[in-house]
Amino acid sequence: MLKGKEAGARAIAEFHKLYNDGKIAEIYAASDPTFKKATNDKQFSDLMGALQKKLGKVTATKEAGFTINTFNLTTRVVLNQETTFEQGKGTEVFTFEMNGDKAVLVGYHINSNDLIVK
């Protein structure tokens, strides 16, 4: 189970790197089909574009909690992050499913007052 947490942390680092580099399509392409059923590439691109415009790049992030569950041989990892951007802060929630040793994105949510009021 701890491998899931470590894999999730690596996936978040990669997500933030791609986000900062403006490679949103690569984040979407690497996500799980479950994620792609919930949002199409344009919707995801529009959301990430709004984040980039209003909050800027990620400058720091720290873990704010996690859960790991296994059901029917599927391990799901949820990591909460307190993230600082160039122009504000937010709480990100990443949900991953394990595929071997790799954490694959199945959900992403952000709560940020700065996103709303800017």
Position 56 scores a pLDDT of: 96
Average pLDDT over every residue of 2-15? 92
Spatial distance between the Cα atoms of 71 and 63, rounded to a whole number of angstroms: 24
Position 1 scores a pLDDT of: 57
Dihedral sign (CA 46, 65, 104, 18) = positive
Domain range for residue 78? 2-117
Average pLDDT over every residue of 81-95? 97
Decide the pairing of beta strands 74-85 and 88-99: antiparallel
Query: Into how many domains does the chain fold?
Result: 1
List the structure tokens of 38.
Answer: 């919930």
Q: What is the CATH number of the domain that holds 65?
A: 3.10.450.50
pLDDT digits (tens, 9 = 90+) for 18-60: 999 999 999 999 999 999 999 999 999 999 999 999 999 999 9
Q: What is the DSSP string of 13-46?
A: HHHHHHHHTT-HHHHHHHS-HHHHHHS-HHHHHH
